[in-house]
């Protein structure tokens, strides 16, 4: 049996999922993780991207890249006790560490394989929840729910307007556009430690405002905070508003408005959330100078990938896509 899960790009709504805000990701057409396998007592998996074989028995924690498979299996056994393993191979064309959710893609693909092999009849939202639990509980990563739900619930040609507090989403058709996702060339070495720090800062700001989640705060509440907490809260509150405005722009097929919101998102991530770097900012400006309607960093920040959007038919988009380190480019509806 074969299972595939794409990577994802978050069009807008960065660093708000763990604060319970809305996000607007879309799946990367044809780019992701493929897992093939057959039933077995344990898990025996080889990966095209990593050396060696991951060999797991039920209940084992695993090591290296096999830890993700062990975590997924453990979460699956919580809801389907006694489910067996599989023997197979993992392959993919999704860059690791580029902010395109390679880890969630692997987890969702593996769980889809289990679902098919053992006829478990798990719904997409259940697979997404298991993948999220595997990352947070099994791997100990303090991540929000966006990535696995965007991958499991998303569909080609649509963005997913997803409420990270209620874990519900609806698909919005994407208008014609030319999109380039490219690697900034800057390693995300600081991203892991800074991610946890930013999350803790948002949680402190929420407690100070007396709200369960920072996304529940209102624009008027920001004035009650000072310094760093005020900047973090301002990003979250204004980014949530930008996601809702972007959804309206998609419904109107208003790419100009969408581009302005995407660029405003980058400015907020740079100035209020402080997760960009000068080298990334320069490349965002290069995309805008080349005619992009909007551009911004995507993912955790401190390097990684950049997203830029042009009108369909604008020759400057395909010309920009000829630059080095392009990860994906094309009509985001078709690939």
Q: What token pair was written down for 252?
A: 């109107």
The DSSP symbol for 136 reads I
Contacts of 19 (CB under 8 A, 6+ apart): 144, 164, 202, 206, 213, 214, 215, 236
CA gap 283, 297 in Å, rounded: 9
CA dihedral 134→138→143→147, nearest 10 degrees, is -20
25 strand-pairing partners = 10
CA–chain centroid gap for 108, Å, is 13
- Looking at 154-277, list the stretches that DSSP marks H as alpha helix, in order from N- to C-terminal side: 191-209, 227-252, 255-271
Across 10-28, b (16+ Cβ under 10 Å) vs e yields: bbbbbbbbbbbbbbbbbbb
How distant, in Å, are the alpha carbons of 95, 262, 277, 300 from that of 304?
10, 17, 10, 8
Q: What token pair was written down for 297?
A: 């960093």
Q: Do the strands 326-331 and 25-40 form a parallel or antiparallel pair, or are they unpaired?
A: unpaired
Strand order in the sheet with 294-298: 294-298, 305-311, 177-183, 326-331
Catalytic residue among 17, 133, 147, 272: 147
The DSSP symbol for 137 reads I
Annotation marks residue 17 as catalytic = no
- Known catalytic residues are 147
């Amino acid at each position: 049996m074969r299972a595939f899960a794409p990577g994802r790009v978050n069009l807008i709504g960065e660093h708000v999922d763990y604060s319970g805000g809305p996000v607007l990701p879309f799946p990367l057409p044809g780019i992701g993780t493929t897992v093939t396998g057959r039933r077995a007592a344990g898990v025996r998996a080889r990966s095209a991207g990593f050396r060696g074989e991951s060999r797991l028995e039920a209940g084992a924690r695993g090591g290296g890249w096999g830890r993700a498979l062990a975590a997924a299996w453990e979460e699956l056994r919580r809801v389907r006790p006694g489910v067996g393993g599989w023997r197979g191979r993992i392959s993919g064309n999704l860059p690791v560490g580029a902010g395109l959710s390679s880890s969630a893609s692997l987890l969702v693909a593996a769980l889809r394989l289990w679902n098919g092999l053992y006829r478990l009849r798990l719904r997409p939202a259940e697979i997404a929840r298991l993948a999220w639990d595997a990352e947070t509980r099994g791997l100990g990563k303090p991540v929000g729910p966006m990535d696995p739900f965007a991958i499991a619930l998303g569909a080609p040609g649509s963005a997913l307007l997803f409420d990270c507090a209620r874990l519900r989403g609806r698909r919005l058709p994407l208008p014609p556009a030319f999109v380039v996702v490219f690697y900034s060339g800057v390693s995300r070495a600081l991203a892991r430690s800074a991610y946890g720090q930013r999350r803790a800062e948002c949680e402190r700001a929420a407690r100070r405002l007396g709200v369960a989640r920072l996304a529940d705060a209102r624009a008027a509440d920001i004035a009650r905070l000072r310094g760093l907490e005020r900047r973090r809260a301002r990003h979250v509150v204004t980014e949530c508003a930008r996601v809702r405005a972007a959804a309206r722009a998609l419904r109107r097929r208003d790419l100009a408005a969408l581009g302005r919101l995407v660029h405003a998102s980058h400015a907020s991530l740079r100035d209020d959330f402080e997760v960009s770097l000068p080298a990334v900012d320069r490349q965002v400006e290069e995309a805008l100078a080349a005619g992009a309607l909007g551009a911004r960093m995507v993912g955790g920040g401190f390097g990684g990938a950049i997203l830029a959007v042009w009108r369909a038919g604008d020759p400057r988009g395909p010309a920009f896509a000829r630059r080095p380190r392009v990860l994906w480019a094309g009509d985001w509806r078709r690939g």
